[in-house]
Structure 1
Amino acid sequence: MKTLTKIEEEYQEIILLVKEPMRSHLLMELMTEMEREYHIPMIRTEDWEIKNKPVIALYRKINLNNNLNF
């Protein structure tokens, strides 16, 4: 499993070095990887988010940046 630090590093590299449309594709892949590795639920649950604050914070950061590209 990749650490959140490693995922954050990959995110920064994508944002700084990759142009669209590949940037959006790579950010989506990173989010999918997080969903799988950290078992992020498809339906938002407050209990899960409270227990996994650093995970959901990074996931939302990636998602927000990805949505800004559209």
Structure 2
Amino acid sequence: MAVPEIIVAITAVGVIAALTCYFFGIRRSHSAQPVDGIQRVEVRVLGGHQPETIRVRQGAAAELVFDRQESGDCTGEQP
């Protein structure tokens, strides 16, 4: 193997590893905090959603508050 082929192979392995971590890596979740009997979670929208995963208790009321910090049309659409 020539040096350029080795560099390409190493780069390809690195890119595959990075993509695997990005798509299949551990996601941090955020648990809803109860306020006056309602589980409330604030979700920041800025190039994506933070937190990406939210945990709430089954059978209890939940409120999601979206803090939209971007001006893109896509995130403002109503279903």
TM-score scaled by length of structure 2? 0.24
TM-score scaled by length of structure 1? 0.25
More strand by share: 2
Structure number with greater CO (CA < 8 Å, separation at least 6) is 1
More helix by share: 1
